[in-house]
């Protein structure tokens, strides 16, 4: 069954945006209507049946705009199917699964999203920003490590799940007091 899907992303050097575009292409190939947009350009998710959100992950942190999107649309996301991914590992550890940052894990739990899948990233001298990234782009971490068959296979699985579920069956009960408390950041905690 065809659905309207938002694939949105928070990218730093463009690699996550390209992954989002590939996911969007795969979902379209399976018959879904898909918008692929930078998370900063999304004001509302009202018209979408499902949302795929991806963020670059650096030093075990998601991009601030992606975390803000989850917070801003928390209640609406609870009424939709939501999938998360993050990209970034490069070099010798490119295939290592990256845990979700604590703030993202709490938000994902409140929404009912499954844990984020990790996709390897890309680090090239031409797109590297910041001293550390430029330095890493000259060494063993340089290159495009993205596994396009893995990305497309995951998008195919997402498509099958979207098609198999009616939106009316995706409603979650209201957040409990414990859930609301879990979303409250500890005092002085950086919410990157």
pTM of the predicted structure, to 2 decimals: 0.77
Distances (CA, A) of 81 to 13, 38, 111, 164, 191: 27, 19, 9, 11, 24
Domain assignment present for 191: no
Distances (CA, A) of 87 to 1, 75, 109, 132, 172: 29, 25, 20, 17, 28
Please check whether residue 190 lies inside any domain of the structure.
no
In-domain check, residue 189: no
- Residue 83 pairs in a beta bridge with 52
Provide the number of structural domains found in the chain: 1
Q: Give domain status of residue 173, yes or no.
A: yes
Whether residue 192 lies inside any domain: the answer is: no
Region for residue 15 given its phi and psi (left: phi exceeds 0; alpha: psi -120 to 50; beta: otherwise): alpha
Do the beta carbons of residue 51 and residue 20 sit within 8 Å?
no
pLDDT score recorded for residue 96: 59
Q: Is residue 136 part of a domain?
A: yes
Which residue range(s) make up the domain with 172? 4-183
CATH of the domain at 62: 3.40.50.360
Which parts of the chain sit beneath pLDDT 50? 92, 125, 128, 131, 133-137, 168-174, 177-179, 181-192
Q: What is the pLDDT of residues 64-100, one digit of tens each?
A: 999 999 999 999 999 999 999 998 755 545 555 677 8
Does a structural domain hold residue 154? yes
């Amino acid at each position: 069954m065809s659905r309207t899907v938002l694939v949105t992303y928070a990218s730093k050097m463009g690699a996550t945006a390209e992954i989002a575009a590939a996911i969007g292409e795969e979902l379209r190939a399976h018959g879904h209507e898909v918008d692929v947009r930078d998370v900063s350009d999304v004001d509302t998710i009202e018209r979408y049946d499902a949302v795929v959100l991806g963020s670059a992950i650096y030093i075990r942190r998601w991009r601030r705009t992606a975390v803000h999107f989850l917070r801003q649309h928390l209640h609406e996301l609870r009424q939709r199917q939501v999938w998360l991914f993050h990209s970034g590992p490069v070099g010798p550890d490119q295939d290592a699964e990256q845990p979700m940052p604590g703030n993202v894990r709490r938000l994902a739990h409140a929404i009912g999203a499954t844990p984020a899948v990790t996709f390897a990233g890309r680090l090239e001298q031409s797109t590297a920003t910041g001293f550390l990234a430029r330095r890493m782009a000259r060494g063993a971490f340089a290159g495009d490590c993205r596994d396009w068959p893995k990305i497309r296979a995951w998008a195919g699985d997402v498509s099958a799940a979207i098609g198999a579920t009616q939106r009316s069956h995706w409603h979650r009960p209201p957040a409990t007091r414990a859930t609301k408390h879990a979303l409250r950041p500890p005092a002085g905690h950086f919410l990157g």
